[in-house]
Amino acid sequence: MANMSAAESDETRDIDPSTADSDAMDSDGNGERPYAPSVLRTRVIPVVAIVLVVGLLGLLGYAMFAPDDGRIAPQGRINSDGVLVLEDRHDAPDFEVTTFTGEPLQLSTLRGQVVILNFWASWCPPCRDETPLLEAAQDNLGDDVALVGMDIWDAEGAARDFLEQYGVTYAVGHDDSGEVAVDYGVSGVPETFVIDAEGQIVARFPGEVKSLDQLRGMVAEAR
C-alpha cells in the first residue's frame, strides 16, 4: 500500500492545490457553484400559466354558452332578457314626489299593483329610444301594472320639454333632491325596477328596455 506507481505519483503531483476547488468558486470568488435555471422557472411557472389559461377559457366558454336562465349574478340570476332577478326580495324604498302634472305620487299608494319604475333623464340618448316604447306598452301589460317614470339628475324644464316631445301620459315624477336615485342605488340611466304587489323589488334592469316582450317578461317575474 505504501508503494505507488510512477504514473499514479505523477497524477497526484499534477493536481494543483490552488485550483482544486476552482469548480466550486463562482466568478466573484464567493465559493458558490454557478447553477442552471431553477426548476421553478423551467417547470412550475409554465404549468401554472397553462392552468390559468385553461381556467380563463373555461369561464369564457361558460359566459358565452351557458343557458339563458343559468347565469348567476351576485344578487340573483340573470334571465334571458338580461334582467337581474333578485333571489332575496326586499321592500322597495317608499318615496313621495310631485308629478309633472302637479299631482302627488307616492309609491306605497300603488300597493296591490306590479310597478315598473323607470329612471331616466332628458339628456340620455337611450332614454329617447326607450320612452316611446314605454308609452306604447302601458296599455299592454295588464290592469294590475302601473308604469311610473322618475326623472333624475336633470333640469326640470328640460325634462318637461322631453315629456311633451314624446307625448308621455303615464305618471312621471321629478327627483329634485336626488334621494330616490340614491335610495334605489341607481348607477346610470335608463334603469328599470320591477316591484311586486307586496311592495318588494323583484328585478332590476340597467339599460334600455327594447321590446314589449322584455317588459312582459319583467312583469312575469313579479306575478
Q: What are the residue boundaries of the structural domains of the chain, listed by start?
A: 1-65, 73-220
What's this model's pTM, rounded to 2 decimal places? 0.68
- Mean pLDDT in residue range 159-180: 97
Beta strands in the chain (DSSP E): 71-73, 76-78, 84-91, 96-98, 104-106, 114-120, 145-151, 171-174, 191-195, 200-206
**N- to C-terminal Cα separation, the chain:** 104
* DSSP-H helix ranges across 15-87: 39, 45-65
Mean pLDDT over each residue of the chain, to the nearest integer? 80
What local confidence, expressed as pLDDT, does residue 76 receive? 87
Decide which of 57 and 109 is more confident: 109
- Mean pLDDT in residue range 171-191: 96
Identity of the amino acid at 154: D
Tell whether the model's pLDDT for residue 193 goes beyond 70.
yes
The rounded percent of the chain whose pLDDT value lies above 70 is 67
Distance CA 111, CA 103 (A): 18
Identity of the amino acid at 118: N
Query: In whole angstroms, how large is the CA radius of gyration of the chain?
Result: 36
Distance CA 124, CA 154 (A): 10
Q: Please check whether residue 13 is in contact with residue 5, taking contact to mean a CB–CB distance below 8 angstroms.
A: no
Give me the CATH code for the 73-220 domain, please.
3.40.30.10
What local confidence, expressed as pLDDT, does residue 147 receive? 98
- Mean pLDDT in residue range 119-123: 98
β-pairing, 171-174 vs 145-151, is parallel
- Mean pLDDT in residue range 90-102: 97
Tell whether the model's pLDDT for residue 157 goes beyond 90.
yes
**Among 185, 183, 200, 188, residue whose Cα is nearest residue 113:** 200
What local confidence, expressed as pLDDT, does residue 117 receive? 98
Identity of the amino acid at 16: D
Tell whether the model's pLDDT for residue 9 goes beyond 80.
no
**Among 137, 148, 146, 149, residue whose Cα is nearest residue 213:** 137
Decide which of 157 and 18 is more confident: 157
What local confidence, expressed as pLDDT, does residue 221 receive? 93
